[in-house]
Structure 1
Amino acid sequence: MTEILTTHAGSLPRSAELIAANAARPVGEDGLTPAPTDEFREVLRQAVVDVVARQREIGISIPNDGEYGHLMGSAVNYGSWWSYIFDRVSGLELTGDDHFSGEPVRSGPGDVRLTTFPDRRDWTIFAEAYQDPNSGVTVGSQPTFPVATGEIAYSDTGRELVAQDVTNVQAALGSAGYEQGFLNSLSPGSGSRIVDGHYGDVDAFLDAWVEVMRPEYEAIAAAGLTVQVDDPSIAENWDQINPEPSVEDYLAFTRKRVDAVNRALAGVPTEQTRFHLCWGSWHGPHTTDIEFRHLAPLLLEIDAKYYSFEAANVRHEHEWTVWEDLALPEDKVLVPGIVSHATNVVEHPELVAQRLERFARAVGPERVIGSTDCGLGGRIHPQIAWAKLSSLVEGAAIASSRL
């Protein structure tokens, strides 16, 4: 029997104690959070031990720290996968100028530019639904993001924080009896989506983020862990371009971000790299998402062994058929989302098994690891999140027995 392994995209529900400890941390004069206190470090350390142990109890094959080292001061938070990096990078300040202010930006043929967040095409097409608090459409809270006001660099605080993440998860993995695990890290392309108030050139700013993220990737890999590069920008940027660009122009724009990932990963062994692609974790219609068939070949250009992507939500589930036509290199592994962060309905284990079997038939069961669409922490209720992971494990066992 070929066992189909299970994992998840990264973020898991935080404990009430950790959320309270995060919320209580002071904010510095620059609006960012300073290095943690010894008291906070102990709360975080124990929380990581507990979340890894719970993954073991459920039966998750490849765990992480739940992204607990990524600050989340409230139970609902869609953005900690991104905002955590702000405390680790010098040259950033809160100025009041962010993604939710300013005039909309317009693109043209051969000149692809990201517009402001409120000008996203999905948000404007369904403006009535997005503005109705009873519609069920949610985008999470809208915090103020920093602006790059000087040369950016991975800071000494960043090095301390990633070392803390590594130490915590290594100890927790050992305690729970795991031999492998991963840590999540931001992509250069996603980092470069914050407002640039210094470089004045999109490509130069992207290049700067390559240098910023490289030390974090290398620190994680040097510890023997797998680096998961989280990069919604590869797919999500499409919706933040007005008017809709040609696919050719968008792929040219995106290939620069793929190249940025590869340059930042140059010192990391390919077998220790996972890459996560998604269309944004907000709970909305997503009618303006770019089709996966346009992105899948580009995905394979990323120097990673494992490719994680959304495949369970109702906007993208049908796109598993891409892998019937696109040849997956023999040394690569698919990590498709099999349960979704976008619904409170807990997927039946039989549905989980059927979804896994589709991918197994397309590329071989030994090259499929069942996962989640996006992180579950901060997006759905903890009780539902853990039930989804349990269903994922149960369904993987069913699929394995049949394969």
Structure 2
Amino acid sequence: MILSRDRILTTHVGSLPRNDKLSDLLVRQEQGQPFDATEMASELDKAVAHVVDKQAKAGIDIGNDGEQQRVGFQTYVPQRMSGFAGVSNRRRGKEFEAFPELVASLVRRFPHTSKQQNAPECQGELKYLDVKPINDELARFNRIASGKFAETFMTAPSPGIISSTMLNAHYDTHDAYLAALAREMRHEYMAIHKAGLVLQIDAPDLAMDRTMLYRDLDDAAFIKRVEAHVAAINAGIDGIPADRVRLHVCYGNWEGPHIYDIPLEKILPALYQAKVGALTIEFANPRHAHEYAAFKKAPLPKHMILLPGVIETTSNFVEHSEVVARRIEDAVAAVGDRERVVASTDCGFGTFTNREWVIEPAVWLKLQALREGADLASTRLWGKKVA
């Protein structure tokens, strides 16, 4: 991964809003309904070209395809892997049980969504069927993005987040299910690496699942589960150099109270067990903006880069560049090395098709503010104006 050698570089977590026509096609594909494959390919070309152009114009240094080619950040997996069927009887998170008003608000706001709460479950032996879909994604993006970014990345879900959202009804233990997922998702992880992109593992399970799948455990027991999930990631990425993998951790990308979230300082040592070169963590979220202090107790390992979220991803407020600059400076102070900080967003802007919290025009303005704030911070950190 490239470092912020002479200025603060910018990136984002991955997903960007999809247009209505593409969303409809992706949902049809997910539901097994008929769709025109030629039309799909054309819409994917246009959508990827659109988000690549918008990222580049906003000043993003390390960009991706905006996950335009997937219905959701992890719910696309059953389309590529055998063993899934039926519907997972997934328990709602603690926050949603405590605040039924939040659930009612979500239903009103997002009446037509993809398979999020009703994702299938694992009912048979898992097997990754064909690398052609991921290779097609990679080929499309590499063709369209050539020369547009200083570096490129592509996302893939962690074994843990697949296991906690598409529940196990086949393997004897949860750990056996994790191992199977790591084994099969490795096909996708390796394809991304071999295509020359940085692999981003999306692992909200490492924080969010404290209030979801593992809500009945105490913090110490949850940390043990985090360590098991990290071990599954390490198994899946074995053989990929650490500096070609970045790990995204978050508390769930929704606009809610988040009062049950686990503090970063409790999970940070377990995150350091991941054999990756960078961590991308929420810090613009109002519940976690203070948590740079966690690095005083557990300093960021010298081989890791921090990609702090300095842009919030669930509201249409566009951050002032000065706010962004100060957040970046806080991150640099926490890490102690300006070169090992790359400014990012808290989470994705289009985590699931038809469930975008932020209107598309505001997304590009937020990414532009990210660039402007990074330039302000760079001027102060390097003592010279950024060209």
Query: Normalising to structure 2: TM-score of the pair?
Result: 0.89
Whether 1:209 and 2:164 are equivalent positions in the alignment is no
Q: Which of 99, 112, 126 does residue 152 from structure 1 map onto?
A: 126
* Counterparts of 1:138 and 1:293, CA distance in 2: 37
Match of 2:353 in 1: none
Whether 1:172 and 2:168 are equivalent positions in the alignment is no
- Check whether the contact 1:238–1:250 (CA below 8 A) recurs between aligned residues: yes
Q: Which of 246, 271, 278 does residue 299 from structure 1 map onto?
A: 271
Deviations 1:110-167 (A, max 9, x none): xxxxxx12xx2212222344335699899977552112121011112xx111001110
* Counterparts of 1:129 and 1:25, CA distance in 2: 29
Q: Call closer, same or farther: CA 1:132–1:180 in 2, change over 3 Å.
A: closer
Match of 2:364 in 1: 386
RMSD over aligned Cα atoms: 2.4
Match of 2:161 in 1: 190
Pairing of 1:343-362 with structure 2 (within 5 A): 343-362=315-334
User: 1:385 offset after TM fit, Å?
Assistant: 1.3
SS of 1:320's partner is helix
Query: What is the percentage of aligned positions where both structures have the same residue?
Result: 34
Whether 1:222 and 2:200 are equivalent positions in the alignment is no
* Counterparts of 1:51 and 1:43, CA distance in 2: 12
Between 192-201 and 345-354, the greater mean CA deviation after superposition: 192-201
User: 1:331 offset after TM fit, Å?
Assistant: 2.0
Whether 1:13 and 2:17 are equivalent positions in the alignment is yes
Match of 1:86 in 2: 78
SS of 1:374's partner is coil
Whether 1:376 and 2:349 are equivalent positions in the alignment is yes
User: 1:381 offset after TM fit, Å?
Assistant: 1.0
Instruction: State the one-letter code of the partner of 1:98.
Output: S
Deviations 1:364-389 (A, max 9, x none): 11010111100012231111111111
Gaps of 5+ in 1: 72-79, 101-115
Instruction: State the one-letter code of the partner of 2:8.
Output: I
* Counterparts of 1:36 and 1:216, CA distance in 2: 25
Q: Which of 171, 176, 183 does residue 199 from structure 1 map onto?
A: 171
Q: How many residues align?
A: 369
Q: Which of 204, 218, 238 does residue 266 from structure 1 map onto?
A: 238
Instruction: State the one-letter code of the partner of 1:394.
Output: E
Pairing of 1:327-366 with structure 2 (within 5 A): 327-363=299-335, 364-366=337-339
* Counterparts of 1:259 and 1:139, CA distance in 2: 36
User: 1:169 offset after TM fit, Å?
Assistant: 1.3
User: 1:261 offset after TM fit, Å?
Assistant: 0.3
Match of 1:111 in 2: none
Whether 1:397 and 2:375 are equivalent positions in the alignment is yes
Pairing of 1:106-185 with structure 2 (within 5 A): 116-117=91-92, 120-132=93-105, 143-156=117-130, 159-174=131-146, 176-185=147-156
Q: Call closer, same or farther: CA 1:146–1:130 in 2, change over 3 Å.
A: closer
Instruction: State the one-letter code of the partner of 1:343.
Output: S
Whether 1:55 and 2:55 are equivalent positions in the alignment is yes
User: 1:68 offset after TM fit, Å?
Assistant: 1.0
Deviations 1:241-293 (A, max 9, x none): 57643221111121110100001000211111010000111221111100000
Q: Call closer, same or farther: CA 1:140–1:323 in 2, change over 3 Å.
A: farther
Between 391-400 and 244-253, the greater mean CA deviation after superposition: 244-253
Deviations 1:309-345 (A, max 9, x none): 1110101001012123322222210001000112221
- Check whether the contact 2:60–2:149 (CA below 8 A) recurs between aligned residues: no
Gaps of 5+ in 2: 351-355, 382-387
SS of 2:185's partner is helix
Q: Call closer, same or farther: CA 1:152–1:133 in 2, change over 3 Å.
A: closer
SS of 1:49's partner is helix
Query: Normalising to structure 1: TM-score of the pair?
Result: 0.86
* Counterparts of 1:205 and 1:277, CA distance in 2: 21
Match of 1:76 in 2: none
Instruction: State the one-letter code of the partner of 1:82.
Output: Q
SS of 1:183's partner is strand
User: 1:25 offset after TM fit, Å?
Assistant: 4.0
Q: Which of 4, 8, 18 does residue 4 from structure 1 map onto?
A: 8
Deviations 1:200-235 (A, max 9, x none): 321111111011110100000011100000000111
Q: Call closer, same or farther: CA 1:140–1:320 in 2, change over 3 Å.
A: farther
* Counterparts of 1:304 and 1:269, CA distance in 2: 8
Q: Call closer, same or farther: CA 1:6–1:296 in 2, change over 3 Å.
A: same
Instruction: State the one-letter code of the partner of 2:79.
Output: D
SS of 1:281's partner is coil
